[in-house]
């Protein structure tokens, strides 16, 4: 007996000087794709989507920081795909993208208004795959993550990293809130869930729950 093929395909492309993980996911039955967090590098990502013969259906945003959302307006303009997310509490971050780009000496980037804002409990459909949306504030107030239960996979933006968690020293960031987001929204999804973070290598929720110095059970006194 062999395992059933995954309903999900993905590739990750680090973009901008911040090496943010722009993740493209697609339904392997229909080749309908979504690009998650196009912070930059729009043309190479669209070229790779075309090379793989995927159809870009949607652009998903975890939060409004420029390295995650700075290329969304350009990608939407060039592809015709709608921008979905994040939660509306991050509008102030999106509005500030042009100034942030100038501050960091990056190429000009545009702000935008998403085609659809997201809220906790929303469900997205991509081809024949279903994705659950969880509102996970703490790094930013409007941060969301995307979870495909059938594939046991999540894209978590800057909520959780291998061995670390997102910064909370930005405007409206909060450490306690971020820890609550990880422990009450991510951990219940299961130790076996693999995730791609906003930066750096992926991991599993189980590995981070065992060893992450910020949110492991031991670190939080839950062992």
- Name the pTM for this structure: 0.96
pLDDT, averaged across the chain: 96
Position 65 confidence tier, pLDDT thresholds 50, 70, 90: very high
198 vs 223, higher pLDDT: 198
Please provide the CATH number assigned to the domain covering 8-156.
3.60.15.10
139-171 burial, b if ≥16 CB within 10 A, otherwise e?
bbbbbbbbbbeebbbbbbbbbbbbebbbebeee
Length of the chain as a residue count: 223
Which of 59, 82, 61, 39 has the alpha carbon at shortest distance from 142?
Answer: 61
Task: Kindly report, residue by residue over 11-27, the tens digit of the pLDDT.
Answer: 999 999 999 999 999 99
* HSE-up (13 A, CA, CB side) for residue 22: 32
* Contact yes or no for 199/162 (Cβ under 8 A): no
Q: What percent of the chain has pLDDT over 70?
A: 97
Sign of the alpha-carbon dihedral angle for 164, 179, 100, 145: positive
Position 3 confidence tier, pLDDT thresholds 50, 70, 90: very low
User: Scanning the structure block, which residue is given the tokens 């239960």?
Assistant: 149
* pLDDT at residue 2, as a whole number: 36
* pLDDT at residue 153, as a whole number: 97
* pLDDT at residue 58, as a whole number: 98
In the structure encoding, which two tokens stand for residue 151, read together? 């594939």
Task: Kindly report, residue by residue over 194-214, the tens digit of the pLDDT.
Answer: 999 999 999 999 999 999 999
Pairing of strands 32-36, 164-165: unpaired
Question: For residues 127 and 166, what is the distance between their CA atoms, to the nearest angstrom?
Answer: 31
Task: Kindly report, residue by residue over 92-148, the tens digit of the pLDDT.
Answer: 999 999 999 999 988 899 999 999 999 999 999 999 999 999 999 999 999 999 999
Average pLDDT over residues 155-165: 98
């Amino acid at each position: 007996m062999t395992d059933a093929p995954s309903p999900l395909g993905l590739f990750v492309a680090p973009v901008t000087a911040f090496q943010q993980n722009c993740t493209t996911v697609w339904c392997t039955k229909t080749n309908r794709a979504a690009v998650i967090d196009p912070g930059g590098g729009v043309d190479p990502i669209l070229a790779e989507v075309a090379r793989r013969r995927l159809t870009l259906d949607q652009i998903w945003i975890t939060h409004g920081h420029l390295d995650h959302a700075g290329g969304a307006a350009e990608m939407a303009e060039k592809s015709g795909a709608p921008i979905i997310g994040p939660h509306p509490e991050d509008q102030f971050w999106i509005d500030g993208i042009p100034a942030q780009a100038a501050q960091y000496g990056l190429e000009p980037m545009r702000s935008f208004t998403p085609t659809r804002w997201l809220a906790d409990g929303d469900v997205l459909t991509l081809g024949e795959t279903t994705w659950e949306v969880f509102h996970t504030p703490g790094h930013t107030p409007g941060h969301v993550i995307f979870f495909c239960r059938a594939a046991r996979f999540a894209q978590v933006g800057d909520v959780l990293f291998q061995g670390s968690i997102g910064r909370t020293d930005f405007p409206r960031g909060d450490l306690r809130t971020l820890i609550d987001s990880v422990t009450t929204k991510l951990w219940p999804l299961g130790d076996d869930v693999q995730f791609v973070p906003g930066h750096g290598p992926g991991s599993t929720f189980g590995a981070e729950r065992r060893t992450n110095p910020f949110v492991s059970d031991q670190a939080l006194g839950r062992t």
